[in-house]
Structure 1
Amino acid sequence: MLDSLNLDQLRVFMAIVEQGSFSAAARHLRRAQSAVSNAIVNLEGALGVALFDRSGWKPELTEHGRALLADARAVLERVDQLKSRARGMTQGMETELSLVLDVMFPMQKLVDLAARFQRTFPGVVLRLCIDALGGVPQRVLLGECDLGVQGSLQEIDPELVGHRLPEIEMAPVAAPRHALSALDRITDDLLRGHTQIVLTDSSARTKGCTFAVFSENQTLTTDLGAKRALLHAGLGWGFMPRSFVEDDLGAGKLVELDLAACNAGIRSMPLFAVHRRNASLGPAGQWVLDTLLESMGGEIQQ
C-alpha cells in the first residue's frame, strides 16, 4: 500500500544517495542509524521494490532505486516549492509576476534577469511577454502586465511611473550585396530611394507614428527576428540594436552603413521601466525593478 509512504522517507532516501551511506546520512540528518534504516525499510515496503543493494560494504542503488531517484527528487522539489509559495503568500508575495519587455531589450540581460529571478523567487511564476513600441505601456496600463520596459517612446503616460534605463545603441545596417553597402557618407536623398525595414506595432498608442524612418518605401514588421531575416536577404536596410547584430557584423552577414546625417538621436534608443501609479509592486516586482535599475544603472524619470 502506498498510503504508508511519506515525505520524511523520501528525504532519508535522498540523504543516503547524497551522503553515500546509511551512517553518513544518519550523521547528516542527526538521527540514529537505526531510524534511517527503518525509514528505508518502510519506504521499500510502501513502494514494493528494493531501493538499495546492501550486500557490499557500501549500499548501492538497485535498478529500481536508480529509476525512482529522479521521481523522489522531483516530489521533494515540488513540495519545497509549495512551502515556499505558501510562505510567500503570508508575506504578501505575488504568486505570479508578468513582465513585458520591448523587443529591443538585450536578450542576454533578459536571460540573466530570468535566471536570477528563478533562484530568488522559486515559488513565483514569471510570465514574460515581448512587444514593441506602444504595445509595452498599453499592456501595463490595461493591467495585463505588472511591469514593463518600453523603448522608443520618450513620453511616459501620466498613469505610469517611469524609471529611465541606459539607452540601446542602434546601428544602420544592410546586407553586403545591398546597393547602399558600398557607399560612403550616404545622404538622406539616397536613403529615400531605398526600401527601409521598419519595426512597427498594432497598438493604438503609436498609430500613425514612425521612428527614425527615412525612406519613402517601407516594409513594416512587428518582429525583430523577421526584420533581421529581411535585412539578411537584402530586401532593404534598417536600424537594429547593435547587441542583436554584433555577430552578423563580425561575420560579414550585415554591414554598418555610413549615414551622413545620422545624428545622435537615432543612434540610440531610450528605455524606461514602467509600472502603474495606482498599483503597488509586490516584493518580486520590486525586486525586478531594483535589479533592472542596479544592473543597468537607471534612475526614476517621474
Structure 2
Amino acid sequence: MMDIAELLTFIKVAETESFSEAAERLFLTQPAVSKRIAALESNLSVRLFDRIGRQVQLTEAGRKLLPKAKQIAEDLADIKRSMSLQMEDVVGELQVVTSHHIGLHRLPSTLKRFEQDYSNAKLMIEFTQSEEAYRRVVKGEAELGVITLSQVEDSQIAALHIWSDTLACVVSPEHPLAKLPIHQLSVIELAQYECVLPHENTFTRQIAEKVFLGHGVKPKVRMNTNNLQTLAMLAGIGWGWSLIPATMVTSDLIVLNIEALKIERKLGVIYHRQRTLSRAAQAFIDLVRLHADSAAPTKLVQ
C-alpha cells in the first residue's frame, strides 16, 4: 500500500535533487528519507531515482510519477484547507436535552445569544427530566445535556460543573414544624413528618436520601413528583415538608433551619467522552460558561 509520507518525501527529494537537503527540509534524518524512498520504489516495483556519485536524478518512472504525486499533495492540502474552514464555521444541527427547571431558569440568555451568533447552526432543544437527559447522552441520542449532575461518576460521561443550586427545606406556615419554637431541627426529627419529594430515581432525591441515610433514617414520603413547582405548591398547602431550590421560596412557605439539609445541587453540561464535540457544541458550552453568572435566577416573589 502506498504511503502518503513516502509520496511527500519523493516530491521533496525530486525538488531538491538531494537526499540530505530533503531530510533537512522534512526534519528527518537522511537514513529515514532513504528508507521512505526505498519503500515507495518497492511498492511501485520501479526505480525512481538514479544515484550517480553525489547527484540524484529522476528516472523515467520518477518523472512520470512526479506530477501525479504533486496532484495528490495538492488534493491533500485542499482537503485540509476545506476541513479547516468547516471547523471554523458553526454549522449543522446540535441536539441539546435539558431539564425543565434549568432550561427555563438558566438557559434563556445562552439560547438567545446562540441564535443571534450562529444563525447557520440549527439548535434542537428538548425539555425532559435530568435523568432522562443523562440517559439520552449516554446512548448518543443527544450531543449535550444540561442537567442536575449525578453524584456518581461515570467513565463514559464528562461533566462540567457550571452552577450551584442551593436547596431549601420548606413547609407551609400552618404546618406543625413551622409552629415549633425557633431552633435548629435535626434530620431525625424531620423524618417523623410526611414529605413530598421527587421520585427515587432522580439525582435530587438521591442527594436528599444520602443525608437521611447518614443519620440512620428514611424520609416519610407522602407523594412523589418531579415537577418542582408542584412540590412547592404541595408544601404550601400543607401536604408535608419538601426540598426545593431556594430561589423558588415564596412568602407562603417557611424555610426550616436544618443544617444537614443546607445542601447544593450541582448543575452543568454533560457529553459522552467518546464523542468528538462539534463546533456548534463547543460554541454552546462557551456561551453557557460566558453567561453562567448572569444566568443565576432571581428570587421569586409572590
The two structures share one fold, judged by TM-score above 0.5: yes
Give runs of aligned pairs for residues 158-177 of structure 1, distance below 5 A.
158-177=155-174
Say which SS state the counterpart of residue 157 (structure 1) adopts.
coil
Match of 1:120 in 2: 117
Counterparts of 1:281 and 1:152, CA distance in 2: 19
Q: CA deviation at 1:235?
A: 0.9
Does residue 241 (structure 1) correspond to residue 245 (structure 2)? The answer is: yes
Whichever residue aligns with residue 264 of structure 2, its letter is S
Counterparts of 1:107 and 1:174, CA distance in 2: 24
Contact 1:98 / 1:128 at 8 angstroms: preserved in 2? yes
Match of 1:155 in 2: 152
Q: CA deviation at 1:268?
A: 0.9
Structure 1 pair 289–267 and aligned structure 2 pair: CA distance change class (3 A): same
Counterparts of 2:229 and 2:273, CA distance in 1: 33
Whichever residue aligns with residue 228 of structure 1, its letter is A
Deviates more, 1:119-128 or 1:166-175: 119-128
What value does the CA root-mean-square deviation take over the aligned residues?
2.8
Give runs of aligned pairs for residues 261-280 of structure 1, distance below 5 A.
261-262=259-260, 266-280=262-276
Deviates more, 1:144-153 or 1:95-104: 95-104
Counterparts of 1:94 and 1:200, CA distance in 2: 38
Contact 1:104 / 1:241 at 8 angstroms: preserved in 2? no
Match of 2:198 in 1: 199
Contact 1:104 / 1:151 at 8 angstroms: preserved in 2? no
Counterparts of 2:272 and 2:91, CA distance in 1: 16
Q: CA deviation at 1:200?
A: 2.5
How many corresponding residue pairs? 198
Whichever residue aligns with residue 176 of structure 2, its letter is A
- What do the CA deviations read for 1:206-252 (whole angstroms, capped 9, x no partner)? 7xx7331442234211222222221222211111112233xx1xxx1
Match of 2:73 in 1: none
| Percent identity of equivalent pairs | 21
Contact 2:199 / 2:226 at 8 angstroms: preserved in 1? yes
Counterparts of 1:191 and 1:199, CA distance in 2: 17
Structure 1 pair 175–122 and aligned structure 2 pair: CA distance change class (3 A): farther
Residue of structure 2 aligned with 1:283, choices 269, 279, 285: 279
Counterparts of 2:142 and 2:200, CA distance in 1: 17
TM-score by length of 2: 0.57
Counterparts of 1:141 and 1:280, CA distance in 2: 14
- What do the CA deviations read for 1:243-296 (whole angstroms, capped 9, x no partner)? 233xx1xxx11121112x425xx5211123111122222222111111222333
Does residue 105 (structure 1) correspond to residue 102 (structure 2)? The answer is: yes
Q: CA deviation at 1:133?
A: 4.6
Counterparts of 1:178 and 1:242, CA distance in 2: 19
Does residue 221 (structure 1) correspond to residue 217 (structure 2)? The answer is: no
Which sections of structure 2, spanning at least 5 residues, go unmatched?
A: 1-84, 213-218, 294-302
Contact 2:91 / 2:120 at 8 angstroms: preserved in 1? no
Whichever residue aligns with residue 173 of structure 2, its letter is P
